[in-house]
Structure 1
Amino acid sequence: MALDWDDLKIALAIARNGTLSAAARALGSTQPTVSRRLDALEQRLGAQLFEREACGLRLTALGDALLAGLAQMETGALAVERQIAARDTGLHGEIVVTSLDWLGDEVLAPMLARFGAQHPGLTIELINDGKVYNLARREADLAFRFGPFTQENLIERRVGEVQYALYASDAYLARYGQPSEGDGLRGHQLVLLDRAAGDVPHEAWLSAIAPHANIALHANGLRAHLAATRSGATMAVLPCLLGEREPTLRRIPLGPPQPPRSVRVGYHPDLRDTPRIRALLDFVVEGFEVMAGELVVG
């Protein structure tokens, strides 16, 4: 009896995620499709792999016995897929990139668009998502983010730096006056990240120079910080790559300059020598260098 790996992959996703809907999300499919394919697989096997329960699906004894073998099959299949993806095809093929929030939208998207325009044989897909994509499973080829990667067996490379500074609008300065370090920014208004963000270097820097400022807003997205600052209601620490583009915002020179944050890329070692990956990474590094030079000149 021949079994299709795509169907076995369905069973593995259900075992890992516990419900049909969660497995469908992990596979980029739909719940009815996953359910239908599981039923078809169990019919071909002539045995149940899962017990249907009110709270989800539970592996039967047979399903549990097969789980380790399915995981090994997945490891082998993914290794083959990476080797195929890494074949020397020059500047042709697909590159899936994942990043976060403003870094992907405001910085990487223009770079990737320029690179794609120069190399029409490439298909580049950018996904901005808080989800941590599994690069070993080829959920993405390249992941750009701040800070270290937690996945094992990845190559990490620093591609650039992002400098932050405190910004205020002309309207804010007209209303509240120029901030001064001497009083710890007493009487001034700030927007910070939400408390769930944890320790963020540029906000620790801000807390040290503005212990008496009023926190008017906590918001978890940098665009909210930019909008609040642009409105004249608050000041905020923003990436200089964004703050310097805003004609109504002014950089506020307070305290010692904070250290820049490094932007890092992670990718699987199988893609190390792939021409399209190497070319794109070199292009991104050059793009960060150009932006840094423009900020110095500006």
Structure 2
Amino acid sequence: MTMDWNDLKVALAIVRHGTLSAAARSLGTTQPTTSRRLDGLERRLGAKLFDREAGGLRPTVLCQSLVDGLERMDAGALSVQRQVAARDTGLSGEILVTSLDWLGDEVIAPMLARFGAVHPGLVIELVNDTKVFNLARREADLAFRFGSFAQENLVERRIGEIAYALYASENYLERHGSPEATNGFSGHLLVLLDRAAGEVPHEAWLPVLAHRARTVLHANGLRAHLAAVRSGTAMAVLPCLLANREPSLRRVAVPHPGVVRAVRVGFHSDMRDTPRIRALVDFMVLEFASMEGQINPQG
């Protein structure tokens, strides 16, 4: 019996994700297509691979016995794909890049555009998402983020830094005055990240120093913080390179050195010697170096 790897991938995706809809999303297809492929595979096998339950699909004993082999096949197929993607094609081909929120839009995107402008043989795609892309599964070629990478077989490189400081608008400071650490910023208003984010390094110091200030908003995106500060409503910790572009904002002097966060790029070790990947990473390092004056918290 000849097995179609595309059908076997469906079975493996359902094992991993538990439902047809989640498996379809992971495969980039639709739930009806995923269901049809599973039905066809089970017919050809003459056996059920999953028991249908209210909460999803549960692998049968037969299916469980196949999982190790399917995982090995999947790993082998991905390895072949990475080797093909890493072939020496010079500075041509496609590069899929992922990043986060404002970092991707405000910092990474202009750099990628400049790189693409001088390399017409490249097609560069940027996806900004809170999702952690699996680089081993070629969900992306490069990822730019804060913090280290937890996935195996990745090359990680620190390529730059982003500094943060406390900012307020001129209007806010005229109305409220400069905050005083000696009284815990009493009478002042703050915008902080949403509580689901937990303790974030660039902001963790502020509630301690400003323990008598009132938090008027928790928001999960730094653009919301920037907008609130620009409106003159409250103060917030912002990336210096964004806040310094705003003529109405002023850096607030506080007895704290501020925080500098490292920006890291990660890619699979199989892509280490790929010319387009190597060239892009080297270019990004130079780009971040050229921004040093913008990110210096004392600048």
Partner of 1:72: 72
3-state DSSP of counterpart to 1:136: coil
Shift of residue 73, structure 1, vs aligned partner? 0.1
3-state DSSP of counterpart to 1:203: coil
Q: 2:103 and 2:267 mapped to 1: Cα distance? A: 18
Question: Which amino acid in the other structure matches residue 57 of structure 1?
Answer: L
Mapping for residues 133-212 of structure 1, pairs under 5 Å: 133-212=133-212
Q: Please give the root-mean-square deviation of Cα atoms over the aligned residues, in Å.
A: 1.6
Contact 2:20 2:31 in 1 (8 A): yes
Contact 2:162 2:295 in 1 (8 A): no
Q: 1:209 and 1:55 mapped to 2: Cα distance? A: 47
3-state DSSP of counterpart to 2:33: helix
Shift of residue 223, structure 1, vs aligned partner? 1.1
In structure 1, runs of 5+ residues without a counterpart are none
Shift of residue 113, structure 1, vs aligned partner? 1.4
Question: Which amino acid in the other structure matches residue 183 of structure 1?
Answer: N
Shift of residue 182, structure 1, vs aligned partner? 3.0
Q: 2:176 and 2:34 mapped to 1: Cα distance? A: 58
Partner of 2:289: 289
Question: Which amino acid in the other structure matches residue 83 of structure 2?
Answer: Q
More displaced 10-residue stretch of structure 1: 161-170 or 210-219? 210-219
Q: 2:89 and 2:276 mapped to 1: Cα distance? A: 8
More displaced 10-residue stretch of structure 1: 150-159 or 207-216? 207-216
Shift of residue 265, structure 1, vs aligned partner? 1.1
3-state DSSP of counterpart to 1:204: coil
3-state DSSP of counterpart to 2:151: coil
Partner of 1:264: 264
Q: 1:98 and 1:182 mapped to 2: Cα distance? A: 43
3-state DSSP of counterpart to 2:125: strand
Shift of residue 295, structure 1, vs aligned partner? 5.0
Contact 2:143 2:265 in 1 (8 A): yes
Question: Which amino acid in the other structure matches residue 147 of structure 1?
Answer: G
Deviations 1:207-258 (A, max 9, x none): 3432221111111111111111111110000001110111211111212322
Deviations 1:81-108 (A, max 9, x none): 1111111111111111111111111111
In structure 2, runs of 5+ residues without a counterpart are none
Mapping for residues 1-298 of structure 1, pairs under 5 Å: 1-294=1-294
3-state DSSP of counterpart to 2:212: coil
Q: 2:22 and 2:161 mapped to 1: Cα distance? A: 37
Q: 1:28 and 1:244 mapped to 2: Cα distance? A: 41
Count of aligned pairs between the two proteins: 298
3-state DSSP of counterpart to 1:216: strand
Shift of residue 294, structure 1, vs aligned partner? 4.1
Deviations 1:149-207 (A, max 9, x none): 11122111001000001111122112112223332211111101111111212212223
Q: 1:8 and 1:261 mapped to 2: Cα distance? A: 43
Shift of residue 278, structure 1, vs aligned partner? 0.8
3-state DSSP of counterpart to 1:191: strand
Q: 1:103 and 1:295 mapped to 2: Cα distance? A: 13
| TM value normalised by structure 2 | 0.95
Identity among equivalent positions (%) equals: 69
Q: 1:249 and 1:169 mapped to 2: Cα distance? A: 4
Shift of residue 43, structure 1, vs aligned partner? 2.2
Q: 1:4 and 1:160 mapped to 2: Cα distance? A: 45
Question: Which amino acid in the other structure matches residue 243 of structure 2?
Answer: G
Q: 2:175 and 2:216 mapped to 1: Cα distance? A: 15
Q: 1:283 and 1:106 mapped to 2: Cα distance? A: 17
Which consecutive segments of 4 or more residues in structure 1 shift more than 6 A?
none
More displaced 10-residue stretch of structure 1: 266-275 or 35-44? 35-44
3-state DSSP of counterpart to 2:87: coil
Q: 1:122 and 1:11 mapped to 2: Cα distance? A: 35
